[in-house]
Amino acid sequence: MAGMDSGFAVYAPHPVERHAPVAVVVAEATGDDVPVLAVLQARARGGSAGEWADRIHRARRGERSLVVAAKVSGEAVGYANVAFLPEHPVDRAPAGYYLTGVTVDPAWRRRGIARLLTRRRMDWVWERDSAIRCFVSVRNPASLDLHRELGFGHERTGASFQGIEFAGGEGRLLRADPPRS
């Protein structure tokens, strides 16, 4: 799989301007959503829309996986995935559910859409398992803040997790446990 290093949002922990809230609907992605989500992923992360469409279709069919889309006025503007992955034979990232691929259209960022996509996937995992993991490049502080704020803590640092390499740097394996009732 390709390295993970480009297309990150410019880090702005205290933006001087804030967008007004928008009505966002987050739901499991349908087959009809896939072409738009594939274009979104190709633009944000590189690769062809065709390759992304194949990948997203496969993820939708996976037994222990969920693909979610965020829509504004019926238009898909955000994508995210969660899937169960076995322990990785090389980098030893543990078996369990992993959040991957969260992407929001640049025109719709900083309105809480990634937060909604992530909460939705966390709830889905906690109906099935306890720990949820994700891995984030150390060069992506926007994503590190997003996940930290949602309760993810640092588990370990490495050059690769689940076979994904962090080109030119390191990544962090993060884990969130269910809230205590």
85 vs 28, 65, 128, CA distance in Å?
20, 9, 14
Shortest Cβ distance from residue 175 to ligand COA (Å)? 14
Shortest Cβ distance from residue 145 to ligand COA (Å)? 4
CA-CA distance, 56 to 155, in Å (whole number)? 28
Choose which of 41, 65, 81, 143 interacts with ligand COA (CB under 6 A).
143
Shortest Cβ distance from residue 114 to ligand COA (Å)? 3
Residue among 56, 40, 42 nearest 2 (CA): 42
Shortest Cβ distance from residue 77 to ligand COA (Å)? 9
Are 117 and 136 in contact by the 8 Å Cβ rule? The answer is no
Checking phi first, is residue 46 left (phi over 0); if not, alpha (psi -120 to 50) or beta? left
Q: Which is nearer to ligand COA, 148 or 181 (CB)?
A: 148
Choose which of 145, 154, 157, 159 interacts with ligand COA (CB under 6 A).
145
30 burial via Cβ count (<10 Å: 0-12, 13-18, 19+): exposed
Position 170 contacts ligand COA (CB under 6 A): no
Q: Kindly tell me the sign of the dihedral angle through the C-alpha atoms of 42, 69, 138, 90.
A: negative
Q: Which is nearer to ligand COA, 117 or 180 (CB)?
A: 117
Position 113 contacts ligand COA (CB under 6 A): yes
* Binding region for ligand COA (CB under 6 A): 7-13, 44, 102-104, 109-115, 136, 140, 142-143, 145-146, 149
